[in-house]
Chains A and B, each alone.
Chain A
Amino acid sequence: MFTTFLRIIKFAGQSFARNIWLSVINITILVLTLLTINFLIIFNLLTTGAVDIIKDKVDVSVYFKENVADEQIQEVQSKILDSLYIDDVQYISPEQALKDFKAKHESDQDILQAVTELEREKEAVFLPSIRIKAQNISLYGDILKELKESQYSNLFEIDEAQFRDYATITEKINTISNRVEMVGYIVSLIFLIIAFMMVYNTIKVAIYTHQEEISIMKLVGATNNFIKSPFIVEIIFYNIIALLIVVILFYLSMSFVQPMLNKLFAGYSVSVLDYYNSKFLLIFLGQFIFTVLFSVSTSLMAMKKYLKI
């Protein structure tokens, strides 16, 4: 059994070497297919990361009018918290708002000077507010509607400008990412079709170049599986080599790309490298199994047509 296995490997290796250029082209196509699939994974990871970051920044602020009492503010806050759509509600006192504003504009002396003037004249610079975060970005529309229709709506004003800006950006990112994903799927499909044709024709050529051996094998009583197996093993060789090349290319390119991504997503955990490291087996073994199943099925189809045994 082991002897037979070794001989199948040997014959597959001989066939690989005999049609070396065909082997190189096959491996190249498989590499391109796998690279496209990985590009899609990485792109999806980055757009999801970017959208999550934006979603994290989205909120709606409710500014209470000057004469609203603290008890009323607390009542509104507790009512809002009761809503099913709300993730978090944060009360921001006028003092806290002033502090945050100063920190944000610490380098702009003109603004700071104006604020100081207002403080000196004992005028209220900021009003109390609450910042509302929804469980999901799509729920902000309902929250805004609820707030506008509530019995307390005369007590506050809603600042939804920030939410509108971020919602627009998120929508744009989603649109672009959907388009790029669609292009990626089409490119993957094209490469899969090319891979199918390449593998199919490789088997056809391999059967043709091995015609003599095959006829002798049949003559001397080699089993059908023994005759077919080297072709299958040769295709598996292609897949192993293609996967190794893709893994090497991935880690090489990531050594340049990941530092750039770290700068781009500073302060957020969007790491392609960490993602691949944590799911290395799942990603690459999954891709290997997929391409092996795909190319072996293609080989079997070609053998059924051209290998008469």
Chain B
Amino acid sequence: MINLSNVSKFYKPNVWALNKVSLNINPGEFVSIVGQSGTGKSTLAKILFAEEAPTEGKVEIGGWDITNIGLSEIPYLRRQIGFVFQDFRLLKRKNIYENISFAMETCGIDSEQINKVVPQILKIVGLQNKVDRYPHQLSGGEQQRTAIARALVHQPKLLIADEPTGNLDSINSREIIDLLLRINKLNTTIILVTHNRDVVNNLNKRVVTLDDGKIISDQKNGRYIL
């Protein structure tokens, strides 16, 4: 599914955010990328999402070499990858339904398909009864579930969650992780970027630990070791 070989990322004047990282993730896996702040976790996520290009190395997703992906190809890559952020990034002037349908509208999906898919996704994330609510009328957990719903509109094979529980209390964090696990069971590969020790330790899934831009540990049923 994902293959990184000797990937490095250099930022001026003299920071190597990633340093010769090689990683292989199989389809359907649930992988936590952990590490302290500034160890390159988010840079890795951004490279997978083609928001940043690696300075060195090779990045492949689903057999597609995206190392030097063209600007015009990026949208089509992103339609195959869902991305969730710590700050939710919802549109304040749109309600839940509109936030999700907006993602489909901008990709040219017809209204009939949107009206069919959005309710199904809202059901998966458990927000089918709150379609008319606006982001400010929702709890942090509900906002993150909306963001996850939006990330699922293109039925991606890969979902990258960058610190999805960073702004949530423990109960809401648990709900979000449970939701990610359920999505993973539907055969979607999940990459969870986090520095939340409890979340990682309770998952009992593969854990890749980064430190100073290098992989220092890759455990099948790992724990937060830092």
Q: Chain A: residues with CB nearer than 8 A to chain B?
A: 1, 3-4, 7, 212-213, 215-224, 226-227, 309
Contacts and interface: CB of A to CB of B under 8 A. Distances in A.
15 contacts: A3-B109, A4-B108, A7-B105, A212-B89, A212-B91, A213-B102, A216-B89, A220-B78, A220-B150, A221-B78, A221-B107, A221-B154, A222-B75, A222-B106, A224-B72
Contacts of A217: 106
Contacts of B107: 220-223, 226
B102 to A, nearest CB: 7
A248 B97 CA distance: 43
Contacts of A309: 71
Given A212-B91, A216-B102, A216-B103, A221 B75 contact: yes
Q: Interface of chain B, helix or strand or loop or mixed?
A: loop
Contact of B79 (A7, A212, A215, A221): A221
B153 A220 contact: yes
Q: Which of A3, A220, A224, A227 has the most CB of B within 10 A?
A: A220
Contacts of A216: 89, 91, 102-103, 106, 150
B36 interface: no
Interface of B: 71-72, 75-79, 83, 89, 91-92, 102-111, 150, 153-154
Contacts of A212: 89, 91-92
Nearest to A214: B106
Contacts of A1: 108
Nearest to A1: B108
Contact of A220 (B71, B72, B110, B154): B154
Question: Closest 9 CB pairs between A and B?
Answer: A221-B79, A221-B78, A222-B106, A220-B103, A4-B108, A221-B75, A217-B106, A223-B75, A3-B110
Given A3-B108, A4-B108, A7-B106, A219 B78 contact: yes
A3 B107 CA distance: 10
Contacts of A222: 75, 106-107
A202 B83 CA distance: 31
B71 A221 contact: no
Contacts of A220: 78-79, 103-104, 106-107, 150, 153-154
Contacts of B109: 3
Given A3-B111, A216-B103, A221-B79, 14 more contacts: A4-B108, A212-B89, A212-B92, A216-B91, A216-B106, A219-B78, A219-B89, A220-B107, A220-B153, A221-B77, A222-B106, A223-B72, A223-B75, A226-B106
Nearest to A226: B106
B76 A213 contact: no
A260 B53 CA distance: 70
Contact of A224 (B71, B91, B103, B111): B71
Nearest to B113: A3
Contacts of B79: 220-221
B144 to A, nearest CB: 15
B88 to A, nearest CB: 11
A219 B99 CA distance: 13
Contacts of A3: 108-111
B91 to A, nearest CB: 6
